[in-house]
Amino acid sequence: MTEEIKKEEQLEEVEGTEEVVSEEPPQEKSELELANERAEDFENKYLRAVAEMQNIQRRSSEERQTLQKYRSQDLAKAILPSLDNLERALAVEGLTDDVKKGLEMVQESLIQALKDEGIEEVAADGAFDPNFHMAIQTMPADDDHPADTIAQVFQKGYKLHERVLRPAMVVVYN
Give residue-wise pLDDT tens across range 114-169: 999 999 999 988 899 999 999 999 999 998 889 999 999 999 999 999 999 999 99
pLDDT, position 73:
92
Q: Report, as an integer, the average pLDDT of 13-25.
A: 51
Q: What is the DSSP string of 124-138?
A: -SSB--TTTEEEEEE
Report long-range pairs for 151-157 (Cβ below 8 Å, ≥24 apart). Answer: 153/124, 155/84, 156/84, 156/87, 156/121, 156/122, 156/124, 157/121, 157/122, 157/124, 157/132, 157/133
Fold of 73-173: Nucleotide Exchange Factor Grpe; Chain A, domain 2 (2.30.22)
Give residue-wise pLDDT tens across range 53-85: 999 999 999 999 999 999 999 999 999 999 999
Give residue-wise pLDDT tens across range 35-45: 999 999 999 99
Paired sense of beta strands 163-166 and 168-173, if any: unpaired
Q: What share of the chain is helix, strand, coil (3-state, %, to 5)?
A: 55, 20, 25
- The CA-CA-CA angle for residues 3, 9, 15, to 5°, reads 140
Give residue-wise pLDDT tens across range 80-107: 999 999 999 999 999 999 999 999 999 9
* Interatomic CA distance for residues 66 and 59, integer angstroms: 10
- Give the residue among 9, 15, 49 at the shortest CA–CA distance from 1: 9
The chain-wide mean pLDDT, for the chain, equals 88
Main-chain phi, psi angles of 107, to 5 degrees: -60, -45
Question: What's the full length of the chain, in residues?
Answer: 174
pLDDT, position 1:
54
